[in-house]
Amino acid sequence: MKINGWRNYRHCAMPTTPPHILANLNPIKNGDIFKLDGGVFFVLWYEKFDLKYKTPFYAIIKENDFDFSEIHSSRRTIIRKGLKRNEVKVINPVEYITEIYNILLECANDYPSKYRYEITIENVKKICEDYNEWGGYCIASFSKDNNTMNGYCYFKETYDDVYDFDVIKVPDKYNKDKVVYALIYNMVGIIFRKGAKYILAGYTEFSHETNFKQFLVDNFNFRYSYIDLRVKYKLFIKLIVNLIYPFRNITRKLDNIRIFHILNGILKIEYVRRECDKLRK
């Protein structure tokens, strides 16, 4: 069944509302949340946003336009280098399916094996069509040397003037051209010219190891907004998690095996849940 205000992400029910708005909790209370289309094993939601104390669960947000005076001169130089070497513009992704396919393929090959996924031209066509269906903006970077697309990002308004920064893809071979800096600088400008309340650049990572969120904090003055995470499992999942949780240090050593990588993500959720419970008390 479909439930307004909720989505199924890899068998995890999550609110579609931004974190400063309390989700509709009735489907959790009456159990309907586990009937969400696609099958749900557990539910994540949050009841308090922007806490004054640190928790292991957080959102990465930015509440104002980028100001060069806010950052160190060395970082200003890097951003200007990215803007000098690349032209960034809003695109219709359906008109650039082949270019986006090539970028996604190269990015997938850059990832460690446990994160890699299959890329086909049919999948990319569907992704590009979804971008258009969802609305929002797809902006791409093109090298000023040869006009080759060397990266893109996608973001959209979700609710109450909050913009989700969903996707950024730049192959590693373009790092020297500072493509990521050019894309993010342009994205931030576009969003705040639209009158955004804030940009939401994701939450605590449970299974994907990345320094990108810290990169946003260090280079573009995003910040951590600490949140009280709540979790509810289906009964059999709860039993499995409680059984395996004491052995999480062992399973972490097997993280390169895909099934253990997935399991470790769930165990990290359980760790965060327990820590938030302690802090709440």
- Specify the residue for token string 């990521």: 180
DSSP 251: H
Count CA atoms within 13 Å of residue 236 on its CB side.
Answer: 3
Predicted confidence at residue 210, as pLDDT, reads 79
Give every CB contact of residue 236 below 8 A, 6+ residues apart in sequence: none
Predicted confidence at residue 73, as pLDDT, reads 84
More confident call, 66 vs 138: 138
In this prediction, residues 178-197 reach a mean pLDDT of 95
In this prediction, residues 244-254 reach a mean pLDDT of 94
SS3 of residue 145 by DSSP? coil
Predicted confidence (pLDDT) per residue in 100-114, tens digit: 999 999 998 888 776
% of the chain with per-residue pLDDT over 70: 99
Predicted confidence at residue 3, as pLDDT, reads 93
Measured CA distances, 266 to 183, 198, 213 (Å):
32, 29, 20
In this prediction, residues 118-145 reach a mean pLDDT of 93
List beta partners, residue 91: 138
Predicted confidence (pLDDT) per residue in 48-80, tens digit: 899 999 999 999 999 999 887 777 888 889 999
Give the E-state strand segments of 144-227 in sequence order: 149-159, 162-169, 198-203, 223-226
Q: Which residues of 77-99 are buried (b: 16+ CB within 10 A; e: fewer)?
A: eebeebbebbebeebebeebbeb
Are 183 and 151 within 8 A, CB to CB?
A: yes
In this prediction, residues 257-267 reach a mean pLDDT of 90
Structure tokens at 259: 């099934």
Predicted confidence (pLDDT) per residue in 198-242, tens digit: 999 999 998 877 789 999 999 999 999 999 999 999 999 999 999
In this prediction, residues 169-185 reach a mean pLDDT of 96
Predicted confidence at residue 209, as pLDDT, reads 74
Q: Is 157 a residue whose pLDDT tops 80?
A: yes
Q: Is 14 a residue whose pLDDT tops 90?
A: yes
**Residue 175 φ/ψ region, left for φ over 0, alpha for ψ in the -120 to 50 degree band, beta for the rest:** alpha
pTM of the model: 0.89
If you average pLDDT over every residue of the chain, what do you get? 92
Q: What dihedral angle (degrees, nearest 10) is formed by the CA atoms of 60, 66, 69, 70?
A: -10
Give every CB contact of residue 152 below 8 A, 6+ residues apart in sequence: 91, 93, 96, 100, 103, 138, 139, 140, 141, 167, 168, 169, 183
